Amino acid sequence: MANAQLHIVDCEYLKQIEGARRDLHDLLLNNKQFAPIVLRLAFHDAGTYDANAKTGGPNGSIRNELSNPPNNGIKNAIDFCEQVKTKHPKVTYADLYQLAGVVAVQVTGGPFIPFIPGRPDAPDQQDSGALPNPNGDGQHLRDIFYRMGLNDKDIVALSGAHSLGRAHQDRTPGFDGPFTEDPLKFDNSYFVELMKGDTPGLVKFPTDKVLLEDPAFRQFAELYAKDEKVFFADYAQSQKKLSELGFNAPR
């Protein structure tokens, strides 16, 4: 994606972006149950980025990658976003999916995340970049996120997105249930629950537990459990970074 031309962002395109933002906001506000899967769509489209090869990233190609097992269930989010795409056809899928992720966080109580449009689509690209395996260890998380060009703080902050949604057997075999008491509220409860240890009815992946087992990760997890404002600030920065991987956003 880094070598692709920026999508032309003119006045008409900006109007359609703002229209898409409003429609996404209204749709998600009235259908909050879609917020977690829409946020997952944004993460998975961006998460294939390879900082060395300059391939993958938030280019909209995930709609061609639904056979990739980690993307099970993502079609629901793609179909949800398609109703907005139909109304605002100039908006690229790459921009739409990242904008949807930003709005999903905001309507569920999370921080405002700045969004810069202009991502080009790669409609024929089949990204094969690995995504995090929930059964992985700390080295696995670093292998995946460092490949993208992200760091330890990004890993922990972005893990906090598990305050939304739940685990599903068809997507994460062996796990079923929410991560927090209110899976449609974006807050720091993921880290609060993490500090409590195993809680009946709530799910913790091995990749969640490693955030306490690894000293470098734990310092951030403890901080975020104590201070939601710090978590929100770091999370917004990390999701913005994730949403712009390989995208030389105009400043």
Q: Which residues are catalytic?
A: 44
> What is the Cα–Cα distance from 1 to 20, expressed in whole angstroms?
23
Q: Look at the block and give the residue holding tokens 């639904």.
A: 66
Closest CA to 32 of 183, 160, 236: 183
- Decide: helix, strand or coil at residue 143: helix
> What is the Cα–Cα distance from 94 to 108, expressed in whole angstroms?
22
> What is the Cα–Cα distance from 143 to 6, expressed in whole angstroms?
29
- Written as one string, the DSSP assignment of 163-205 is GB-EE-TTTSTT--EESSS-TB--SSHHHHHHHH---TT----
Q: Look at the block and give the residue holding tokens 């720091």.
A: 188
Q: CB atoms < 10 A from the CB of 28, how many? A: 22
> What is the Cα–Cα distance from 117 to 68, expressed in whole angstroms?
27
